[in-house]
Chains A and B, each alone.
Chain A
Amino acid sequence: MTEITLPDKDVVVLERKNFQGLLDALSDSGYELLGPIVRDSAIVYERIHAVDELPVGWVDVCEPGKYRLVKEKKKTLFGCTIGSQSWRRFLHPPTSKLWEATRDGNGFKVIQPEPDQVKRALIGVRSCDLAALAIHDKILSQGQYIDHSYQERRRNLFVVAVNCVRPGGTCFCASMKTGPKATSGFDLALTEMYVSNRHYFIVEPGSKAGKKLVDKLPVRQPKESEIKAAQKELNKAASGMTRTIDSEHIGKLLNEKFDDPHWEAIAERCLACGNCTMVCPTCFCTNVEDSTDLTGQHAQRQRWWDSCFTVDYSYIHGGSIRTSVTSRYRQWMMHKLVYWQEQFGMSGCVGCGRCITWCPVGIDITEEARQLTVKE
């Protein structure tokens, strides 16, 4: 594994006591702040205003199908790894109205929804989720088919990344080469340090907007020892992950296992409930539905998150083509790890581990991939 290092210039130190200043500077620049908070025994991303709304002192314990929050003595702000759901709901909302129409004489008049021009600042994005954001950028805003509402929201985004100094229990970003340190796609990247009762952040600007913001903050130059300590923590996090996927070879290996009996064994446990696709930061499938009101004078087209685990998802003329759960699970995993590569030239999995934690029956994609490819 390559050694993780911090860049030697532009990096500054922000003391914990000045962290609110960072939030205020963003608010003053017109950003709506979204960050991790504790709600219903888990970390969720919601609107925040003040530093004490963050999950101060909380740590998440993740296992397949199990998630618990534990309070620690250390009053870290970002001791928890990732939220129970990804950030994608802010850029690619679960439901959205594409247009509506009203009858007008013999025809109808189409009304376009107002573009969403809210400036949002995401606070505490982990490198796995940054990788997911880059995937959506490529697919939804740079490819042949542009999702204009995504593009609009994305344009107004400010990203404050947080490097992971503690891997979550189901994380495997190191093997997917997406973390634990943020390398691109952020405006600012923080490394939270809590050593011998000193609490501070190493701040790395990643864009012009990020640098401009840092100029407004009471920061100082880091000591060499502080940089070294942060690098040590990051390397420790990278080597501390217990789960892995052989991201270099998995595509080829899995592709040969299309007819493997192990898919059936997975389907015996899989509930086809769609939770994995709902929490996945890279899933972007939607269904489009037209509806009318009772009078037939108004109609609207609505888009909502779909999942390859529903029967309706594969409905074509004559019926659904993936009626068995075996075929649906296989489609999901093969798309993430094999077809995505062919389709978009990258992996569809970023190793965040949410699908493992939030599967109601704890199906572990890394374990299933291992079973499928390692055994003979």
Chain B
Amino acid sequence: MAAVKKPKLAVWKFASCDGCQLSLLDCEDELLAIAKEITIANFPEASRAIVKGPYDISLVEGSITTPHDAERIHKIRRMSKCLVTIGACATAGGIQALRNFADVNDFVSIVYANPAYIETLNKSTPIADHVFVDFELRGCPINKYQLVEFISATLNGRKPNIGTHSVCMECKMKGNVCVMVSSGIPCLGPVTQMGCGALCPSYNRGCFGCFGPMESPNTKSLAAWFERLQVPSDDIVRMFRGFNAYAEPFRKESEAHEK
């Protein structure tokens, strides 16, 4: 390995909270090993030292919400061999995509003292709506083990072992009791992609859908069951309108329950 040039990694931020890129720093035990195998070339959250592109791997966090960002992402794509979106913002538009269900100007006038200075797009959109994306890491935030798995797989030229099936499978393998069946707690696990280790159901909470829609989400059937559990329509709308509100299956389901 020593003779081979170390791959260069860059981390980019768009409209987001920084939580996903911090998952890289959160790798703690694996961080030194990562730094040994790759050059962290552009990661302002970690270091001011910036190595010029092109980059072998670009981790892109955040959604596109401004005309400036809509241009910037193309530049990043041009200097990245492999572009990976990390987190619900980059893969689905994030919580800020709630603006997509309303008129953004209404928000601007309420939030900002001088709305005239605000230049924003009507919609918050995922990176894949703008450029080609090589791989997606889901979650709000992403799971650090999935991040390390992706980097390990890329370094060793293999396919990452990252599933697209339901949270339920992780939940059952862990030995959890289904919160919906045993306690009537509405849970998005059956329509949500695995990756979090069934975090919320492990603490007796229903799944919030942080990892977005699984490979074949039957949101209609699940929402019909929520109705049987007497979940009010407003709540069903809110459940599907979380961090992945603009992911198509969740968006359509929330719209179907809107009065």
Contact of A295 among B33, B176, B184 (CB under 8 A): B33
CB distance A357 to B156 under 8 Å?
no
Q: Counting CB contacts under 8 A, is B172 at the interface?
A: yes
Alpha-carbon gap, A312 to B160, bound state (A): 14
Given contacts A274-B169, A358-B181, A360-B178, contact A311 B216 (CB under 8 A): yes
CB distance B165 to A274 under 8 Å?
yes
CB distance A271 to B177 under 8 Å?
no
Contact of B172 among A85, A294, A295, A325 (CB under 8 A): A85
Within 136-170 of B, Cβ neighbours of A (below 8 Å) are at 148-149, 151-153, 155-156, 158, 161, 163-166, 168-169
CB distance A94 to B158 under 8 Å?
no
Count: A-B pairs, CB below 8 Å: 137
Contact of B166 among A271, A292, A293 (CB under 8 A): A271
Q: Which residue of B lies closest to A290 (CB)?
A: B158
Contact of A294 among B37, B221, B224 (CB under 8 A): B37
CB distance A94 to B173 under 8 Å?
yes
Main secondary structure on chain B at its contact with chain A? Answer: helix
Q: Counting CB contacts under 8 A, is B215 at the interface?
A: yes
Query: How many residues of chain A get a CB closer than 8 Å to chain B's CBs?
Result: 45
Q: Counting CB contacts under 8 A, is A65 at the interface?
A: yes
Given contacts A296-B156, A361-B222, contact A84 B182 (CB under 8 A): yes
Residues from chain A with Cβ under 8 Å of B82 in the complex: none
Residues from chain A with Cβ under 8 Å of B189 in the complex: 273, 360
CB distance A41 to B33 under 8 Å?
no
* Chain B interface residue number, banded: 35 or more
Q: Counting CB contacts under 8 A, is B105 at the interface?
A: no
CB distance A310 to B215 under 8 Å?
yes
Given contacts A65-B225, A279-B172, A295-B33, contact A360 B155 (CB under 8 A): no
Given contacts A278-B173, A294-B30, contact A270 B218 (CB under 8 A): yes
Q: Counting CB contacts under 8 A, is B92 at the interface?
A: no
CB distance A40 to B181 under 8 Å?
no
Contact of B204 among A40, A294, A360 (CB under 8 A): A40
Q: Counting CB contacts under 8 A, is B62 at the interface?
A: no
> Whole-angstrom distance from the CB of A139 to the nearest CB of chain B?
20
> Whole-angstrom distance from the CB of B209 to the nearest CB of chain A?
13
Q: Counting CB contacts under 8 A, is B200 at the interface?
A: no
Alpha-carbon gap, A290 to B156, bound state (A): 12
Q: Indicate with 1 or 0, residue by residue over A3-22, a CB within 8 angstroms of chain B CB atoms.
A: 00000000000000000000
Q: Counting CB contacts under 8 A, is B111 at the interface?
A: no
Contact of B1 among A269, A272, A296, A309 (CB under 8 A): A296
> Whole-angstrom distance from the CB of B13 to the nearest CB of chain A?
24
CB distance B176 to A291 under 8 Å?
no
Alpha-carbon gap, A305 to B224, bound state (A): 29
Alpha-carbon gap, A66 to B183, bound state (A): 8
Q: Counting CB contacts under 8 A, is B93 at the interface?
A: no
Q: Indicate with 1 or 0, residue by residue over A253-288, a CB within 8 angstroms of chain B CB atoms.
A: 000000000000000111111110011000000000
> Whole-angstrom distance from the CB of A266 to the nearest CB of chain B?
10
CB distance B216 to A39 under 8 Å?
no
Q: Counting CB contacts under 8 A, is A97 at the interface?
A: no
Residues from chain A with Cβ under 8 Å of B169 in the complex: 273-274, 278, 305, 307, 310
Given contacts A274-B166, A311-B215, A361-B222, contact A65 B181 (CB under 8 A): yes
- Which residues in B have some Cβ–Cβ distance to A below 8 Å? 1, 30, 33-34, 36-37, 148-149, 151-153, 155-156, 158, 161, 163-166, 168-169, 172-184, 187, 189-191, 204, 214-216, 218, 220-222, 224-225
- Which residues in A have some Cβ–Cβ distance to B below 8 Å? 39-42, 44, 65-68, 84-85, 89, 94-95, 268-275, 278-279, 289-296, 304-305, 307, 309-312, 325, 357-358, 360-362
Excluding A85-B175, A275-B190, 20 further A-B contacts by CB distance (< 8 Å) are A40-B179, A40-B182, A41-B183, A65-B225, A66-B184, A84-B177, A85-B172, A89-B175, A275-B172, A290-B158, A295-B1, A296-B155, A307-B165, A310-B164, A311-B216, A325-B218, A357-B181, A358-B181, A360-B168, A361-B224
The 9 closest A-B pairs by CB, nearest first: A278-B172, A273-B190, A94-B173, A273-B166, A40-B177, A271-B190, A273-B168, A42-B177, A310-B165
